[in-house]
Amino acid sequence: MRDRNQLLRPESLRVLVTGATSGVGEATAKLFAARGATVALLGRRPEELRRVADEIGGGSHTIVADVANAESVVSGVRGAIHMLGGLDVAVNAAGIAGYFALQDLSSRRWNEVLATNLSGTFYVSREAGLHMRKAGGGAIVNVASDLAVMGVPGLAHYCAAKAGVVGLTKALALELAPHVRVNAVCPGPIDTPMLRAGLATEPDPVQALQQKEGTVPLNRLADPREVAVAIYFLAVEGTFATGTSMAFDGGTSAA
């Protein structure tokens, strides 16, 4: 059993990051690695996993898995534990979205988003959390959203999934206490490939970007690296935080 105080030393951390091939997941994996941690990158796209691993350099491992598939998660998390020699931090950053008006929101699209964003977070947290509890300590950080507490037309599936992540975070924090801390970060609009892809479908992507920025009181999008800093804080430095959902949204949920 590891001394829980040792978990605060960045160079000793063994970290699993899902959704590690782009956006917040990629930025988080790179931040932990830059601070000395050994990182397992989990995602669905082998070529992108290799790219991120190459950019990180030494101290990283790649795991091809789909968080929406429970069996894939069990295999992936256990593989990460084997590669890293244990697990101290798990970051659930895998996510998908897509705008669909209610009449276009089919059961298939609904289930796809909930399977990745909510069920995937549960599968990883269950497997990682039970291992950490048995090992004596650890931290889980879930990437939720400001839309966990806000509604947006066309994103009913995403709002529901992220609200579920916040509720899941609270329940797991109580069940895994006192050894494993579980928290969530709730970002506002982030300048990620996923967001840019959505804007590209608009008739005027530039105007759509300006409108999106205008919804944020700070009048800009978040950089994924800013969100990674918040995740790192909750995982490593915020040692008295568990069951919390940190608003990190440029003020979008303040109104």
Q: What pLDDT does residue 194 have?
A: 80
Q: What pLDDT does residue 235 have?
A: 97
Confidence of residue 80 (pLDDT cuts 50, 70, 90): very high
Residue 207: what are its φ and ψ, rounded to 5°? -65, -40
Q: What pLDDT does residue 5 have?
A: 43
Residue found by looking up tokens 């003020």 in the block: 251
Percent of the chain with pLDDT over 90: 85
Q: What is the pLDDT of residues 132-148, one digit of tens each?
A: 999 999 999 999 999 99
Residue found by looking up tokens 């935080």 in the block: 241
Residue found by looking up tokens 């990682």 in the block: 128
Which of 184, 191, 196, 190 has its CA nearest to residue 231?
184
| Eight-state DSSP code of residue 179 | T
Q: What pLDDT does residue 3 have?
A: 47
Percent of the chain with pLDDT over 70: 97
| Distance, C-alpha 227 to centroid of its chain | 10
Q: Is the pLDDT of residue 2 over 60?
A: no
Homologous superfamily of domain range 4-187+224-247: NAD(P)-binding Rossmann-like Domain (3.40.50.720)
Distances (CA, A) of 205 to 12, 91, 101, 195: 44, 31, 19, 11
Q: Is the pLDDT of residue 7 over 80?
A: no
Q: What pLDDT does residue 4 have?
A: 53
| Eight-state DSSP code of residue 233 | I
Which whole number is the average pLDDT over 80-108? 96
In the chain, where the domains are located: 4-187+224-247, 193-221
Q: Which residue has the higher pLDDT, 178 or 6?
A: 178
Q: What is the pLDDT of residues 197-221, one digit of tens each?
A: 888 888 898 998 898 899 999 999 9
Q: What pLDDT does residue 8 have?
A: 58
Lowest mean pLDDT among 13-17, 75-79, 211-215, 220-224: 211-215
Helix runs in 115-252, H state only: 120-135, 156-176, 193-200, 205-214, 224-232
Q: Which residues are catalytic?
A: 158
Q: Order across the sheet with 180-187: list the strands.
A: 60-64, 38-43, 14-18, 89-92, 138-143, 180-187, 245-248
